[in-house]
Amino acid sequence: MITIGTNKIEQYFHENFSWERLLDFFKQENSYLKTRLSEVLDSNVDKDFLALAEHFQNKFILKDDFIEEMEYDIEEQKKRLSLLKSGKDFPEEKINKTQQKLRNEMEYLEKDFTVLKNEFNKCLAKQLE
């Protein structure tokens, strides 16, 4: 029996589409940060900086992986929501739990990405003094 309301389903769709746009932004921003790192590496081959550059490169790669996982999870949630919207029976509790999990992961990503970007920019500014 479907107990989740249409308005709630539409809200969940809205959140998922919004998160997809945000993930696109993070992918672009992460790409920009990797490009910037490469530019700085081209002009700075200091041994200490190489280790720091590797540290940031690894973090950027991990962010790419996390973003890909989030994209997959969001797409799966959208499929479940579509089934529910079309009248298929799907456990409301699973939909709600998944949506909350996605909210938490997106909140974490937003905060963590901002911290990483700020840490990277401060590090480059100090390195390039």
> DSSP label at 87?
T
Would you say 70 and 19 are in contact if contact means Cβ atoms under 8 Å apart? yes
pLDDT tens, 18-36?
A: 999 999 999 999 999 999 9
For residues 22 and 25, give the distance between their C-alpha atoms in angstroms, rounded to a whole number.
5
pTM equals 0.88
How many C-beta atoms surround the C-beta of residue 71 within 10 A?
Answer: 15
- Write down the residue that tokens 């107990």 correspond to: 3
- Give the confidence band of 1 by pLDDT, cuts at 50, 70, 90: very low
Distances (CA, A) of 5 to 12, 15, 81, 114: 11, 16, 11, 35
